[in-house]
Structure 1
Amino acid sequence: MALYAIPGQDSLEVRHLVLDYNGTLATDGTLVPGVAERLRELALPPHHLLIHVVTADTMGTVNRQLEGLPCKLSILGPAEQDKAKLKCVQDIGVEWTVAIGNGQNDHLMLAAAALGIAVIGEEGAAVKTILASRVACRDILTALDLLLNPKRLAATLRC
């Protein structure tokens, strides 16, 4: 569990990190350099986050790319992916979850999570998803670094 103190708000207690894969963790099916190291760090003390990756695996590479990383993988079917991602977040507990994504099918999970972060990587980001998030970052490394460096998150969200 990670605890994030946000001035002017209740502290954010996080147990789960839910991530989209293509366009968020990966570009053209390949994990963005630097992501694996950050995921490993977030799974260890003091963060102890349970990491979930939810994806349609459009490029067919997710199993190979995430091999050996501390994350639970869920491959979704082609229909109603936005609702399937939302259900994933609801099942583990929205109040304990940070969700990160970029695609239109990520907007429901970002809106529901205790903290939704939109990333604008090589694929860009759906405007609907940016508007559903509490924070928007230029890329996945910046988003993960917010979680690794709590003062950055506090500076962004303080009232």
Structure 2
Amino acid sequence: MRIEIPGREAFEIKSIVFDYNGTIAIDGRVIEGILEQINELSKSFDFYVITADTYGTVQKELENTSCKVITIGKENQDEKKLEFIKSLDSKTVLSVGNGRNDKLMLKESILGIAILQDEGLCTQTFLNSDILVKSIFDVFGFLRDKNRLIATLRN
């Protein structure tokens, strides 16, 4: 998806990186409707979920989904998420998260989206984002209609 925003250099989104808990899952369970959204849009984007898997459920919850699960250790999660974003070419990555451990990946990505759902949102993560949304489904709306992104980010 190529995005041309007035007053900003054009960019292309190739990869979508989601945090797990608080972003596409609540208390270790994927939010209803997420799997279908990822599978539908996987023809246009590469999807990744990066998590320390606090509840130990991510593999089972995402087993029939067109995304790659990246499990990281419990220590230095923010740095590990940052390294992963860089490994994908951060200039083509849209990342989404809510926790403190997501702040660096949102800042590094070409487009970082902070999400305020049931598990809350770390203020530092919010300050490192480009956009704040109230639901993960808002992100899928952006991926379906780039004009929503343009309207939000233009000068």
Normalised-by-shorter TM-score class: over 0.9
Q: Which moved more, 1:80-89 or 1:67-76?
A: 67-76
Tell me which residue corresponds to 1:129: 125
Q: How does 1:1-159 map to 2 (within 5 A)?
A: 2-44=1-43, 48-159=44-155
In structure 1, what is the Cα distance between the partners aligned to 2:26 and 2:61?
11
Q: Which 5+ residue runs of structure 1 have no aligned equivalent? A: none
In structure 1, what is the Cα distance between the partners aligned to 2:154 and 2:40?
25
In structure 2, what is the Cα distance between the partners aligned to 1:29 and 1:128?
23
The total of aligned residue pairs comes to 155
The CA deviation at 1:82 is 0.2
In structure 2, what is the Cα distance between the partners aligned to 1:78 and 1:10?
36
In structure 2, what is the Cα distance between the partners aligned to 1:129 and 1:92?
20
- Secondary structure of 1:7's aligned partner: coil
Q: Which residue identity does 1:57 align to in structure 2?
A: D
Q: Is the 8 A contact 1:23 1:123 kept in 2?
A: yes
The CA deviation at 1:37 is 1.7
In structure 2, what is the Cα distance between the partners aligned to 1:147 and 1:8?
21
List, as ranges, runs of 4+ consecutive aligned residues in structure 1 with deviation greater than 3 Å. none
TM-score by length of 2: 0.96
Q: Is the 8 A contact 1:119 1:143 kept in 2?
A: no
The percentage of counterpart residues that share the same residue type is: 38
TM-score by length of 1: 0.94
In structure 2, what is the Cα distance between the partners aligned to 1:144 and 1:125?
19
